[in-house]
Structure 1
């Protein structure tokens, strides 16, 4: 409620400033942006992290005019305890953006951590993204490489061992490479934006400590097709998307005992699904 009061006061002050003054106001050296939202399923590179259940998510970014930025992003996870602690993912992000040709190069790193959980489930992943436009179409190509770390190792010979907490190769370390491409295009005068994503993971070929994993089957592709609708006059955006992976049912069986609700081995967390979301930006 405190934020809402501050926002309302800021808006009132802005309206009171003459238009000419607004047009000549210098750009801010530091900007703060963020969002909060709810999604029908938290999918990380095509694999559910919330056991196909609702997730509440939010993020905040502080950017300097030089191109430097820091940020954080968080989401709840499946509540069966594999990650330990609060069953929450909290990402710490830092990077630098610079203009390249007609686009933007974004270089940084993400530290994935699980508050109150186990230290060896945390890992760092540097990344680089190049984005630009081609007519009305926005394009992004990215690569993320996580060097060898325990969180990315294959500590279990099978998913049942993970569910029972029996390590077969404790201390194993592995790396992971993820490359992806995104494309989006706004439909004029509608508030609608169409989007698509294609990603490829290779490296982390098993479940790490406490059954954590980035690419649990070692190599797979994920993709998404969707649309976002910005509700005019509000900070709200409604989204719907279809997502899937090429992880086979046999490969998925390795994941189920540890990634499914209650570790009961039912359902699938890597198959096709339709996602729905509601996000508020500020």
Structure 2
């Protein structure tokens, strides 16, 4: 699960832009197709690992029209907390409209999160609004995503123990429940002069159900929490490659998430919301 893109995915699109820059003499294109692929050491969605703190392969494709309309898809493999059966894959479909405003842009759209071959009760839709602009050397983005009440976001299991009972044939605490989810975030990035480095930062706030959904997971597992990220990307000169490193963390403590166990831990028993250094290699096309 992700916002339209994870912070790593957003960095990929930023890196992709030079690869599609047009010559000043070329006429504007009506349709533009951009894409990226990446290998990451851990897929973090709003600070929580979706790949059991293991490697994930990700990729996306976006088709944009000169009017500002766009549509695309993005996918990643999953494991552990993010396992939904079937191919253990997240497939996001998104569409929206981006319009220049002032010195920046406004972007309004919707993401549909789905898990091919898995439980259809875990699919959900999330509209979003993003504002972007620049202040001096800083590129800034602020966003809000609000998913209305849906079964995938419902508090079906009050504890991880009940989620495990369900796997053994038991009943949910609150089967069929529907809840909503709010996510607020801000991103900032800046290039380091005379270097191929870009520094980046992210902070987000989640407000959703404090339990577990119909597949033992939740978009906002402890109800309300903060997540943040600090990192850097380096473009490899003469190639479409970008390498990155980032420190990701949340304010979810062991005591706060204890009721989610055993679901909220990796195969090694570590909390999947603890601090983690994430490495990435990406290519734009």
Using the size of structure 2 for normalisation, the TM-score is 0.88
User: 8 Å contact 2:43–2:51 — kept in the other structure?
Assistant: yes
2:62 maps to 61
1:253 maps to 258
2:72 maps to 71
User: SS of 1:160's equivalent?
Assistant: helix
Q: Which structure is higher in RCO with an 8 Å CA cutoff and minimum separation 6?
A: 2
Deviations 1:87-127 (A, max 9, x none): 11000000000011111000000000000011110000000
2:198 maps to 193
Cα distance, 1:251 vs. partner? 2.6
1:154 maps to 155
Instruction: Identify unmatched segments of 5+ residues in structure 2.
Output: 1-21
Instruction: Identify unmatched segments of 5+ residues in structure 1.
Output: 1-20
Cα distance, 1:22 vs. partner? 4.9
1:281 maps to 284
User: 8 Å contact 2:264–2:271 — kept in the other structure?
Assistant: no
Cα distance, 1:41 vs. partner? 0.6
| Cα distance in structure 2, aligned partners of 1:95 and 1:39 | 26
| Cα distance in structure 1, aligned partners of 2:260 and 2:242 | 33
| Cα distance in structure 1, aligned partners of 2:161 and 2:263 | 8
1:7 maps to none
Distance 1:108 1:177, change over 3 A: same
User: SS of 2:110's equivalent?
Assistant: strand
| Cα distance in structure 2, aligned partners of 1:133 and 1:256 | 42
Q: Which has the larger radius of gyration?
A: 1
Task: Report 1:123-138 matches (<5 A).
Answer: 123-138=124-139
| Cα distance in structure 1, aligned partners of 2:255 and 2:111 | 31
User: 8 Å contact 2:42–2:49 — kept in the other structure?
Assistant: yes
| Cα distance in structure 1, aligned partners of 2:173 and 2:263 | 15
Task: Single out whichever of 117-126 and 202-211 deviates more from structure 2.
Answer: 202-211
Task: Could you list the structure 1 runs, at least 4 aligned residues long, displaced by more than 3 angstroms after superposition.
Answer: 79-82, 259-262
**Structure richer in helix, relative to its length:** 1
Q: Is 1:236 matched up with 2:258?
A: no
Using the size of structure 1 for normalisation, the TM-score is 0.89
Q: CA-atom RMSD, angstroms?
A: 1.6
- How many aligned residue pairs are there? 260
User: SS of 2:230's equivalent?
Assistant: strand
User: 8 Å contact 1:162–1:257 — kept in the other structure?
Assistant: no
Cα distance, 1:235 vs. partner? 0.5
| Cα distance in structure 2, aligned partners of 1:80 and 1:239 | 24
Cα distance, 1:160 vs. partner? 1.5
User: 8 Å contact 1:83–1:212 — kept in the other structure?
Assistant: no
Distance 1:79 1:201, change over 3 A: closer
Cα distance, 1:258 vs. partner? 2.3
| Cα distance in structure 2, aligned partners of 1:233 and 1:132 | 28
| Cα distance in structure 1, aligned partners of 2:194 and 2:82 | 46
Q: Is 1:28 matched up with 2:37?
A: no
| Cα distance in structure 1, aligned partners of 2:82 and 2:48 | 17
Cα distance, 1:57 vs. partner? 0.5
User: SS of 1:211's equivalent?
Assistant: coil
| Cα distance in structure 1, aligned partners of 2:98 and 2:43 | 27
